[in-house]
């Protein structure tokens, strides 16, 4: 019994000469249509290498996204651990976590492009040129970003603090890279650019443990100064919002034209500062009036002023007044028959 002869695949021509009159793309297509084995092997090798590079690049991209999320969570957790004795600043946590996340993503994308055959030096050069162009076009915005970074690092105020920034007062509701958002006393939302906030005076009213208020009262010279000072200290001790440490202070501070000035200094917590000082002012006023103290009122003197006339013009005016009856006397007298009136009137 004869053994069957195995069939062999058709042998493709190893190489087909190129046609120099055709463009390279058209020439390669012609060679593929004619079955150029060498070109097919090169294309198969290139397709296999591209598939491997795509698979590796996809793995790098997925690993980068996972590493970015892990690094951001680790950064936020580390900042929370650093603020062990007080609550962590959520603004600083979110900013640092976002910064680390995007930094890891940028590094991973550069690695992906390099895996796909794009040189890292070219990518870095393109990013540098783009950063320069963006920086020149957005100078004001980048100034706000730089100021926002400094505010997040130095932390002159935090979310929830009562501050005075760039001439505007309010409670900090948000802080990002571009603006600081305040809620004013009349419930308006005020957005202050970070560059203006960082370059101007910042007054944080929530940082101190206690705030001092100074109240001045003017009494009459005949009133008892010692009794007035005692009443001031009694009112400060009776006010529940006044802090005991430091203790209230009362002294005679001035001797003016209208009377004697007695001054009371008391300390309040930042949250009770506004309401406490107004309540203390009313309490002291009622107590001084109840003890018979008098408050001098401002007095005004009305002075009547008239237009100034030089002495020479006055003499001229008097001479003209004396000459006026003579001119009238030269007028013809009215007939007697036309005169009406009684002898008493004449």
CA within 13 Å, CB half, 216: 8
Beta bridge mates, 172:
182
Q: For 110-149, what is each residue's pLDDT tens digit?
A: 888 887 777 767 777 777 777 777 766 666 777 888 888 8
Q: For 9-37, what is each residue's pLDDT tens digit?
A: 444 445 555 656 666 656 666 666 655 65
pLDDT band at 46 (very low <50, low <70, confident <90, very high): low
Question: Which of the pair, 339 or 165, is modelled with greater confidence?
Answer: 165
In angstroms, the CA 292 to CA 290 distance is 5
Write the CB contacts of 209 (distance below 8 Å, at least 6 apart in sequence).
269
- Lowest-confidence pick of 51-65, 74-88, 138-152, 184-198: 74-88
Q: For 180-237, what is each residue's pLDDT tens digit?
A: 899 988 888 999 998 898 888 899 888 888 888 999 999 988 889 999 999 999 999 9
For domain 157-204, the question of CATH label 2.30.30.60 is answered with yes
**Under 8 Å between Cβ of 105 and 60:** no
Q: Which fold has domain 211-290?
A: Alpha-Beta Plaits (3.30.70)
Q: Where are the beta strands (DSSP E) in 162-285?
A: 162-165, 168-175, 179-183, 189-193, 202-204, 211-219, 249-255, 260-268
Q: Do domains 40-137 and 157-204 have the same CATH topology?
A: no
Q: For 258-317, what is each residue's pLDDT tens digit?
A: 889 999 999 998 888 888 889 999 999 999 999 888 887 766 777 777 776 666 665 665
38's tokens? 């060498």
Q: What does residue 202 show for φ and ψ, rounded to 5 degrees?
A: -115, 125
What's residue 323's pLDDT? 58
For 40-137, CATH number out of 3.30.1370.100, 1.10.287.1260, 3.40.50.2300, 1.10.490.10 equals 1.10.287.1260
**Under 8 Å between Cβ of 173 and 182:** yes
The fraction of the chain above a pLDDT of 90, given in percent, is: 15
Q: What does residue 235 show for φ and ψ, rounded to 5 degrees?
A: -65, -40
**Under 8 Å between Cβ of 197 and 151:** yes
Residue 233, H or E segment: helix 225-238
Q: Domain residue spans in the chain?
A: 40-137, 157-204, 211-290
Q: Is the pLDDT of residue 86 over 70?
A: no
Q: What is the pTM of this model?
A: 0.52
**How many other CB atoms are found less than 10 A from the CB of residue 236?**
23
Write the CB contacts of 250 (distance below 8 Å, at least 6 apart in sequence).
229, 232, 233, 236, 262, 263, 264, 265
């Amino acid at each position: 019994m004869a053994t069957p002869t195995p069939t062999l695949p058709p042998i493709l021509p190893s190489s087909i000469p190129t046609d120099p009159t055709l463009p390279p793309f058209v020439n390669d297509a012609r060679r593929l249509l004619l079955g150029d084995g060498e070109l097919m092997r090169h294309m198969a090798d290139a397709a296999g290498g591209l598939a491997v590079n795509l698979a590796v690049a996809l793995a790098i991209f997925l690993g980068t996204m996972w590493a970015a999320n892990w690094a951001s969570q680790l950064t936020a957790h580390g900042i929370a651990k650093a603020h062990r004795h007080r609550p962590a600043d959520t603004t600083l946590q979110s900013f640092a976590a976002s910064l680390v996340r995007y930094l890891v993503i940028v590094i991973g994308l550069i690695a992906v492009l390099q895996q796909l055959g794009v040189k890292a030096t070219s990518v870095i050069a393109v990013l540098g040129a783009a950063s320069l162009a963006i920086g020149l076009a957005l100078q004001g915005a980048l100034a706000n970003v730089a100021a926002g970074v400094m505010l997040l690092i130095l932390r002159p105020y935090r979310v929830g603090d009562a501050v005075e920034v760039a001439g505007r007062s309010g409670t900090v509701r948000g802080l990002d890279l571009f603006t600081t958002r305040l809620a004013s006393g009349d419930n308006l939302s005020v957005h202050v650019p970070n560059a203006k906030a960082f370059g101007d005076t910042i007054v944080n009213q929530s940082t101190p443990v206690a705030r001092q208020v100074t109240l001045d009262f003017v009494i009459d010279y005949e009133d008892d100064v010692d009794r007035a000072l005692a009443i001031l200290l009694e009112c400060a001790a009776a006010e529940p919002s006044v802090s005991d440490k430091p203790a209230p202070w009362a002294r005679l501070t001035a001797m003016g034209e209208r009377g004697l000035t007695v001054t009371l200094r008391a300390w309040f917590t930042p949250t009770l500062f506004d309401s406490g000082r107004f309540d203390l002012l009313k309490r002291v006023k009622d107590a001084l009036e109840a003890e018979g103290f008098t408050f001098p009122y401002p007095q005004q003197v009305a002075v009547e002023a008239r237009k100034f006339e030089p002495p020479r013009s006055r003499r001229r005016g008097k001479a003209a007044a004396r000459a006026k009856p003579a001119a009238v006397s030269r007028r013809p007298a009215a007939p007697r028959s036309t005169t009406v009136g009684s002898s008493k009137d004449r």
